[in-house]
Amino acid sequence: MGLRSFLLLSDTALMENYKTLTHEKHLDHLVRVVPLLCFAYGVQSYMMLNFARGGSTSLLIFTLGISLAVSVMALVTYDYKSVVRWNNENIIMKSPWNFSFTTVSFRDVQQMDIIGEEDEFQTIIIKLQNKSYTFYFVDNAFELKQTFETLKTPLQHAA
């Protein structure tokens, strides 16, 4: 068995042993909302071209269109590149602006706060002693918090 096979095997094992925060609800929401945003942008652009005579209206419309496309691409990129995995010992995290994974032991986590209800996408804030990590638009943050609370209780009794 070569090194490449071992690395693929270990990555597969990593995926099987860890649970993952997902972004499915947010991606579904984007699929529903983005066409409406594009339609509203089209109507506004048409009205601006017909009612605003002179000036640089077409440049403004082009700039607004580019900013709309960039913001949608940024949201989708965040959903795909943001990774939070956990097992009964560690949390492995990576955000799109970090180039490496961060591994944090559940023992180092002081608190987890969740913004949002279970039936919608949530924001989870993982607080350590000197640092905090925030992940937006996740689906199953309550599952991660439940794991944290289950593991934290025996650790508090032992201390």
Residue spans of the domains in the chain: they are: 22-79, 84-158
The yes-or-no verdict on residue 154 having pLDDT over 80 is no
The answer to whether 109 touches 90, Cβ cutoff 8 Å, is no
Q: What is the pTM of this model?
A: 0.78
pLDDT of 1? 43
* Cα–Cα dist 145/109, whole Å: 11
Q: How confident is the model at residue 51 (pLDDT cuts 50, 70, 90)?
A: confident
Q: Which CATH architecture has domain 84-158?
A: Roll (2.30)
Least confident piece of the model among 4-8, 62-66, 126-130: 4-8
Distances (CA, A) of 27 to 20, 111, 112, 116: 16, 27, 24, 16
CB–CB of 140/153 below 8 Å?
no
Confidence of residue 18 (pLDDT cuts 50, 70, 90): confident
Radius of gyration of the chain (CA): 22
CA angle (70 as vertex; 55, 62 as ends), nearest 5: 20
Q: Pick from 125, 33, 43, 116: which is nearest to 75 by CA? A: 33
Distances from the Cα of 68 to the Cα of 28, 55, 72, 113, angstroms:
18, 22, 6, 31
What Å distances lie between residue 96 and 67, 76, 99, CA to CA? 19, 11, 7
pLDDT in tens, 67-117: 999 999 999 999 999 999 999 889 999 988 888 899 999 999 999 999 999
Average pLDDT over residues 3-21: 58
